[in-house]
Amino acid sequence: MVSVAAHPLPTSGVTGAQVDTPVLNYACRLRCPGQGSLTTDRNALRATLREKFPRDHGQLLPALHYLQHEFGYLPGWGMEVVGWHLGIPASEVYGAATSYSELRTVQPATHLLRVCTGLGCRIAGALDMLATAEVELGVAVGGSTSDGVVTLEETPCGFLCGMAPAIEIDGQWRGRTSMDAVRDIVREWRR
């Protein structure tokens, strides 16, 4: 059975102007590997879903968030089990999974770098920062390095507009960042 015993969302400190921001669920696996049991047993997952989520259409998003918390992303077979349990067609489950930027259907690399491309960050140079990260990593936005170390994504506003440009590193938001900082982070990861 899948264990999600006490695993509260961590909060992150942001260097410079400090802000505590809840970390997105998928970051739990990235930052705290092994906390989810990562079962691949459909029956066990279904039993756990039955315990945690009433068979109700409104439970779709909570169940998907739970799945992502456990696996770091939404594996296809897991979404199928969610659909079985809630009585929701696979197409609708997949549609929901791909409609929210905080949910992912592709397994991320070990590290996840997301650059905010909301308006405030664009004005502050986020697109240049994103281009720098693409060059440093040798991947286009949405891709992962061939060594599986870094996934690069853009993200909508992280509500740190007052500290733009902002990036998210393995689930932790950092404001008032710079192209040099992005370069340093990437080089450190790839060492």
Looking at the Cβ atoms of 61 and 119, the one nearer to ligand FES is 119
19: left (phi over 0), alpha (psi -120 to 50) or beta: beta
How far is Cα 146 from Cα 96, in angstroms, rounded to an integer? 29
Cβ atoms of 37 and 71 closer than 8 Å: no
* Phi/psi of residue 45, nearest 5 degrees: -65, -40
Looking at the Cβ atoms of 9 and 119, the one nearer to ligand FES is 119
**How near is the Cβ of 128 to ligand FES at its closest, in Å?**
14
Closest of 15, 10, 9, 8 to residue 160, by C-alpha: 15
**How near is the Cβ of 164 to ligand FES at its closest, in Å?**
5
**How near is the Cβ of 124 to ligand FES at its closest, in Å?**
8
How far is Cα 48 from Cα 40, in angstroms, rounded to an integer? 12
**How near is the Cβ of 188 to ligand FES at its closest, in Å?**
23
Please report which residue ranges of 90-125 form alpha helices under DSSP H: 90-97, 119-123
What binding mask, one character per residue, do residues 97-136 give for ligand FES by CB under 6 A, x or -?
A: -------------------x-xxxx---------------
How far is Cα 96 from Cα 94, in angstroms, rounded to an integer? 5
What binding mask, one character per residue, do residues 148-187 give for ligand FES by CB under 6 A, x or -?
A: ---------xxxxx--x-x---------------------
* Phi/psi of residue 82, nearest 5 degrees: -60, -45
Looking at the Cβ atoms of 47 and 161, the one nearer to ligand FES is 161
**How near is the Cβ of 119 to ligand FES at its closest, in Å?**
6
User: Judged by CB under 6 A, how many residues of this single chain contact ligand FES?
Assistant: 12
What is the contact surface with ligand FES in residues (CB under 6 A)? 116, 118-121, 157-161, 164, 166
